[in-house]
Structure 1
Amino acid sequence: MFSKGLDSLRNAISFRLALWYSACFILSTASLFALAYFLLASTLRQHDRNSIEQRLHQLAAQYQATNLVGVKKELALESRLRQGKPFFIRIAGPRNTTVFVEIPDQWAEFDLNRLEHAPLADPGALIRLPAKDDEAVLEIASLHLPDQELLQVGKSTEERDSVLESFGWIVAGVMIPMVVIGVLGGAFLARRSLRPIRQLIQTVHAIEAGAMGARVPIRQIGDELDELGMLFNDMLNRISTLIQGMRNALDNVAHDLRTPVARIRGIAELALRSEGEPTGSREALADCVEESDQLLQMLNTLMDISEAETGTLKLHLTPVNIADLLADAVELFQYVAEEKAITLSIITPAPIWLTADRNRLRQVMANLLDNAIKYTPQGGRIEVHAHCRQNMMVICVTDTGIGMTRDELTKIWDRLYRGDHSRSQRGLGLGLSLVKAVVEAHKGRVEASSTPGAGSVFTLMLPIIFAAERPAPADDPPNITRM
């Protein structure tokens, strides 16, 4: 049990983040202190060297002015007055034999006899004479005097080593709480940074438990985790909308399928009861075929919409004269419009060709005109207008029908959606879904605007992939046909 809990902790992202943060913090702090120690040691070493060389040149000048006697008097006076810092001073003869030496009592652990046998250092270099206990070093600078004598001045590193040792203890004392702060800070920051991830996990668990309305809280900071939460919430909203749409679609399909299936069943039952009447049986079979065709039309339309939305719909692209296609569509629905005393007109420019699937565009125009005639009252007007705009073919179908509310406009492209006013009309609720799917399969788009009681405008925008424009003469008016 303990091993399992330890493995779980070790595999947790928060633990690894805290560990990495702590390691980086401790390493950075240790590197900073190491750099500070190096700079301090370098500064103290340079300071000692400068003081040694300054003292060396001072005594050399004194020796040249007053000889050895004057140097001794100066040192004796400084000793009585206790002025300056302690230095090791040695004057040697031409054969490196000691003529004069002065060393503070606390530096007695240095073996000065080794200087008489030691080779002379290069100019500017220091001789390092270790103490007998190897705890300190006597750093000595040398200078040749005019009478072939040698002047040496040195200083012990004991004071410098003491300062560096004290600094090391201070660093050690500071590092311990810094390590603790680093570990605690890493754990706090890791837990705080991963809070949105934990909230995301909690939301997923809530959804698994059936709370489909659960969403990830957004902190409104604007960082990547906020963006992840918003994307996740958007995905959940989309999924929820799709699920609701599927439920509505299934309800509508069940409702729309129940009527023709019930009719087929009723017709079949009547045919079975009317024994010995061939004419009645043939009429029953004809009715069954008609109802079956309606079911097949619904299923085929649903398949076409699905293929168009998934990009698998096969389009037979050919050059299409859009003016002729619109004129044919208007002519097809002219008789139905006249029955309702509706004025159906078309306004097109000179013939413009575009690459499209002729039959699919006919389906699109047929659905739009059929809807416009259905929902336009007697004496109304429907106008089809086409024009070019920035390499796009724009087709507008305008009617003076009953119009739609803003809420209905957002739903008319959904499969099997039928508004309140369309319940009394025959239809499958798939026409506008097919329109949108086919237009988007042509890399175009479709828009709708409407005012309740005033009418609607459906606008198709199709790219002119292939264009062979033949402009009309300047004196000719636009081709206006009223049917």
Structure 2
Amino acid sequence: MTSLRHSIVFRLALSYGLLFLLSLAAISSVFYVGTAGLLARNTDGQIVAIAHQLEQVHERSGTGALLQAIHTLLTDDKDVETEEYLVLDPQGRKLIGNLTAWSHLPTKNDALTKVQVQRLGHDSTSRLLVHRFEDGSLLLVGRDLQEQHQLERMILGALGIGGLLGLLLAMLGALLFRAQLQPRLTAIQLTTQDVSAGKLDRRIATSPAKDELAGIARDVNRMLDDIERLMDTARNVSNTIAHDLRTPLGRIRSALEETLQPPAETAQWQRAAHYAIDEIDTLIGVFEKLLQIAEAESGVRRQRFEILPLRAMLDDLLELYQPAAEAQGMRLTLDVEGTPTVLADRDLMANVLANLLDNAFKYAGQGACVGVSAVQAEQHVSLVVQDNGPGIPPDVMARATERFFRVDDSRSQRGNGLGLSIVAAVVSLHHGELKLEDARPGLRVSILLPRA
């Protein structure tokens, strides 16, 4: 019972059942009041109409005609079981009628009153109207309410049976309601408990249904996919950071140990110090790049966005990289169509293009061609950096933007595998889209940014 009391499914099912019963009770009450009221109004209307007719007979033709009219009503075989008539003379003696006893009669003239009387020797609960004439005689017209009460009891019985059926239907509906919700909510709960226990591969069984719970299940599964991917990425990042930190720290320690071996010379100390500084600068560069990624992913740089024409920035960047390209025998080209303009952070966009050019120079090799292009379309601006080097194998293309991912597992080339991670984070900050494609040969990196 404790678990049921705290169950949202039980409370919803109970609320549904109570609402159904309340609705049924309200409808039944309206039906009963309307039916009983209609019967009572019809009875009162008949009594008033007949009394009015008899009063007119007395006014036109006198007491004899009134008695004859009542005798006719009592012998016409109509309403035999319910009609009630009585005429008393001014002294209170009975002149005609089918009432055999009465304890007291209403004193209010021409008013309908519920009274206990005897009709033909039988007790009767009746609805009576009393009219006193000017000569003191009394006319009483009424109806026995026994049949009306029986009909009302029949209606109440029918409504009671209907109420019991409604209760059963409400219970059945609540059970069906619970049967529909409970298994699906339990599946979600058990999956989240397993995930909390470390089983990140658990997923909620989904159905082709398009209701809200199916949508929640699909959303939770997508969230779990993202969590699992992020956890894998975090583990890989932790392992890579540990590896990339241990290696330079080990080299620094070895260099310093050598300087402690006698005889120690000043030149040896200086070489060791310079070497340690270089290695520490490398480590600082890794942490700076990680901070750049974190800053871009957090969105804190969006307040520095401005209308940025790309042509001037690209001209400056290629002018900066042209000597390096010539030194390696590489050809660096720029192609700009139109006046591409974006809403962006100038420093971050320059950093993105610099990372892409650094990667192209590093991996394309001597004598390669590196092309940079910018095209403004109707809704977006396309930035492309393409080389004709070895590129990235298709089977690992999807992992290229992961932190510390490098195609060269031996890490024989200098670098830390953060360049494309920074690019992906900055492009996401600008609500853009990053695409890596095989240029056959080489790698094509395309960035689509919203047009300013």
TM tier, smaller: 0.7 to 0.9
Shift of 1:369: 0.9
Partner of 2:72: 74
Shift of 1:41: 0.8
Does the C-alpha gap of structure 1 residues 420 and 108 become closer, same or farther in structure 2, counting only changes over 3 Å?
A: farther
Residue in structure 1 matching 2:210, options 222, 231, 251? 222
SS at match of 1:386: strand
Residue in structure 2 matching 1:456, options 437, 443, 447? 443
Number of corresponding residues: 446
Partner of 1:114: 105
Partner of 1:139: 127
SS at match of 1:375: helix
Does the C-alpha gap of structure 1 residues 96 and 255 become closer, same or farther in structure 2, counting only changes over 3 Å?
A: farther
Shift of 1:202: 1.5
Shift of 1:405: 5.2
Percent identity between the two aligned chains: 27
**1:247-258 alignment, distance < 5 Å:** 247-258=235-246
Partner of 1:271: 259
Does the C-alpha gap of structure 1 residues 317 and 172 become closer, same or farther in structure 2, counting only changes over 3 Å?
A: closer
Provide Cα deviations, 1:112-166, integer angstroms capped at 9, x if missing partner.
Answer: x636xx2322xxx534333489x85322346799999775431111211122223
Contact kept? 2:379, 2:451, Cα under 8 Å: yes
Partner of 1:481: none
Residue in structure 2 matching 1:129, options 101, 104, 115? 115
Under a length normalisation based on structure 2, what TM-score does the superposition of the two structures give? Answer: 0.81
Contact kept? 2:434, 2:447, Cα under 8 Å: yes
Contact kept? 1:447, 1:459, Cα under 8 Å: yes
Provide Cα deviations, 1:164-218, integer angstroms capped at 9, x if missing partner.
Answer: 2233344445544543553454344235323332222212222244322222233
Separation (CA, whole Å) in 2 of partners of 1:233 and 1:440: 23
Does the C-alpha gap of structure 1 residues 185 and 461 become closer, same or farther in structure 2, counting only changes over 3 Å?
A: closer
1:259 maps onto 2:247 in alignment: yes
Separation (CA, whole Å) in 2 of partners of 1:189 and 1:208: 29
Shift of 1:298: 0.8
Does the C-alpha gap of structure 1 residues 352 and 235 become closer, same or farther in structure 2, counting only changes over 3 Å?
A: closer
Shift of 1:246: 0.6
Provide Cα deviations, 1:220-248, integer angstroms capped at 9, x if missing partner.
Answer: 43333333323322222211111000111
Shift of 1:305: 1.1
1:20 maps onto 2:24 in alignment: no
Under a length normalisation based on structure 1, what TM-score does the superposition of the two structures give? Answer: 0.77
Partner of 1:438: 426
SS at match of 1:39: helix
Does the C-alpha gap of structure 1 residues 30 and 314 become closer, same or farther in structure 2, counting only changes over 3 Å?
A: closer
Residue in structure 1 matching 2:361, options 356, 367, 373? 373
Residue in structure 1 matching 2:86, options 90, 100, 107? 90
Q: Which runs of 5+ in 2 are unaligned?
A: none
Contact kept? 2:341, 2:376, Cα under 8 Å: no
**CA RMSD in angstroms, aligned pairs only:** 4.0
Provide Cα deviations, 1:61-117, integer angstroms capped at 9, x if missing partner.
Answer: 888689357436635753xxx454341123456x595663221xxx64544x636xx
Contact kept? 1:317, 1:355, Cα under 8 Å: yes
**1:190-269 alignment, distance < 5 Å:** 190-269=178-257
Does the C-alpha gap of structure 1 residues 336 and 68 become closer, same or farther in structure 2, counting only changes over 3 Å?
A: closer
Contact kept? 1:405, 1:450, Cα under 8 Å: no
Task: Give the residue type in structure 1 aligned to 2:36.
Answer: A
Does the C-alpha gap of structure 1 residues 227 and 271 become closer, same or farther in structure 2, counting only changes over 3 Å?
A: same
Q: Which runs of 5+ in 1 are unaligned?
A: 1-5, 466-483
SS at match of 1:410: helix
Contact kept? 1:110, 1:138, Cα under 8 Å: no
1:101 maps onto 2:99 in alignment: no
Provide Cα deviations, 1:26-64, integer angstroms capped at 9, x if missing partner.
Answer: 333332322222122112213323443565567678886
Shift of 1:429: 0.6
Shift of 1:339: 4.8
Shift of 1:291: 1.7
Contact kept? 2:128, 2:143, Cα under 8 Å: yes
Partner of 1:3: none
Separation (CA, whole Å) in 1 of partners of 2:303 and 2:108: 100
Contact kept? 2:433, 2:447, Cα under 8 Å: yes
Provide Cα deviations, 1:293-342, integer angstroms capped at 9, x if missing partner.
Answer: 11111111111211221134598778876434323322333344335543
**1:344-355 alignment, distance < 5 Å:** 344-348=332-336
Task: Give the residue type in structure 2 aligned to 1:114.
Answer: L
SS at match of 1:114: coil
SS at match of 2:399: coil
Separation (CA, whole Å) in 1 of partners of 2:197 and 2:340: 58
Task: Give the residue type in structure 1 aligned to 2:112.
Answer: L
1:52 maps onto 2:47 in alignment: yes
Contact kept? 2:54, 2:66, Cα under 8 Å: no
Separation (CA, whole Å) in 2 of partners of 1:426 and 1:361: 24
Task: Give the residue type in structure 1 aligned to 2:446.
Answer: T
Partner of 1:447: 434
Residue in structure 2 matching 1:163, options 128, 138, 151? 151
Separation (CA, whole Å) in 2 of partners of 1:451 and 1:402: 10
Contact kept? 1:448, 1:456, Cα under 8 Å: no
Does the C-alpha gap of structure 1 residues 462 and 25 become closer, same or farther in structure 2, counting only changes over 3 Å?
A: closer
SS at match of 2:335: strand
Separation (CA, whole Å) in 2 of partners of 1:391 and 1:195: 47
